[in-house]
């Protein structure tokens, strides 16, 4: 009962733009503090620098965005980020704006055609990139949806997978296992090699490339998490089912990895 009353009180307030900006500002300060107090290593940073002012599609898992925003900001990347129209997505868009990222609102489930149209327009201009979570906004986790590949197919821009992990973290009890980094720890980020999608690719080859991208991104995450001895993040969790399972006490538990 208390939870319902609390939710009923806070949800309208959190939907207000002014409160979203305040929360986004607080979050930005926290992220910057963590970023500047951590020891960072970025693998293949040359690829990031090469495409920061050119059309490219940077993809990362929904739960692994925390440390990417300051990297993008300090790297001087001119980019748009695809954000959900939900109030949580709009607040995240405000947070990304504070790091220099503009927003394109929509998702594969809501406003997908407008996102595709706007994203293609941005990439064809030739001076901005796109940042996309291919398993967002509601899952299934660690599964690449087709949006990023359609952008690449229609514009010729490369897809560049990016992932990070860290030594001391808090993995949240969410479908995406959102990873928050503690200050004064070690962080490692991997920037993958560019992947191009031919404009005349067949349906079967398109699916093969989608699966290839998914395997690369999962491989990045597994490699990084194994290095820091983090629990195994599951595939195929989605927001609705996870919330239902959590209410019913059936929430899936993270499997601890031991060296």
Specify the DSSP element, H or E, that contains 42. strand 39-43
Q: Is residue 106 part of a domain?
A: yes
| Residue 254 placed within a domain | no
Query: What is residue 151's DSSP assignment?
Result: H
Distance from C-alpha of 99 to C-alpha of 69, rounded to nearest angstrom: 6
pLDDT tens-digit readout, 93-146:
899 999 999 988 876 555 567 888 999 999 999 889 999 999 988 899 999 999
What is residue 14's predicted lDDT score, i.e. its pLDDT?
A: 63
Whether residue 257 lies inside any domain: the answer is no
Q: Is 79 helix (H, G, I), strand (E, B) or coil?
A: strand
**Average pLDDT, stretch 54-71?**
94
Whether 259 maps to a domain, the answer reads: no
**Please, is 39 exposed, middle or buried when counting C-beta atoms within 10 Å of its C-beta (0-12, 13-18, 19+)?**
exposed
- From residue 109, how far is each of 45, 80, 106 by CA, in Å? 33, 19, 8
Element (H, E) at 23: helix 17-37
Whether 258 maps to a domain, the answer reads no
Is residue 256 a part of any domain in this protein? no
pTM: 0.90
Position 150 confidence tier, pLDDT thresholds 50, 70, 90: very high
C-alpha 115/C-alpha 125 separation (Å) is 15
Secondary structure of residue 15 in the 3-state scheme: coil
- Strand-pair category, 79-83 with 129-132: parallel
Banded model confidence at residue 223, pLDDT cuts 50, 70, 90: very high
Q: In whole numbers, what is the pLDDT of the chain averaged over residues?
A: 89
**Number of domains the chain is built from:** 1
Let me know if residue 195 belongs to a domain: yes
154 Rama class: left (phi>0) / alpha (psi -120 to 50) / beta:
alpha
Residue 90 belongs to domain with CATH number: 3.40.1130.10
Instruction: Identify the domain containing residue 103 by its residue range.
Output: 2-247
pLDDT tens figures, 159-197: 999 999 999 999 999 999 999 999 999 999 999 999 999
């Amino acid at each position: 009962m208390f939870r319902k009353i609390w939710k009923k009180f806070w949800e309208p307030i959190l939907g207000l733009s002014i409160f979203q900006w305040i929360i986004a500002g607080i979050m930005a300060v926290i992220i910057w503090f963590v970023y500047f107090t951590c020891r960072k290593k970025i693998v293949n940073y040359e690829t990031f620098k090469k495409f920061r002012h050119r059309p490219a599609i940077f993809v990362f898992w929904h739960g692994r965005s925390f440390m990417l925003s300051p990297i993008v900001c300090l790297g001087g990347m001119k980019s748009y980020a695809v954000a959900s129209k939900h109030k949580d997505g709009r607040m995240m868009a405000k947070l990304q704006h504070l790091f220099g990222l503009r927003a394109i609102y929509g998702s594969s489930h809501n406003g997908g055609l407008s996102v595709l149209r706007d994203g293609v327009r941005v990439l064809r201009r030739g001076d901005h990139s796109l940042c996309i979570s291919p398993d967002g906004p509601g899952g299934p986790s660690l599964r690449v949806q087709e949006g990023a590949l359609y952008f690449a197919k229609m514009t010729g821009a490369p897809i560049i997978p990016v992932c990070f992990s860290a030594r001391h973290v808090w993995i949240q009890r969410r479908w995406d296992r959102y990873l928050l980094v503690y200050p004064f720890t070690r962080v490692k980020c991997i920037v993958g090699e560019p992947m191009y999608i031919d404009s005349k690719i067949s349906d079967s080859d398109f699916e093969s490339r989608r699966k290839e991208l998914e395997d690369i991104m999962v491989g990045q995450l597994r490699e990084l998490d194994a290095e820091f001895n983090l629990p195994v993040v599951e595939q195929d969790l989605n927001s609705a089912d996870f919330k239902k399972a959590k209410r019913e006490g059936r929430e899936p538990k993270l499997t601890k990895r031991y060296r």
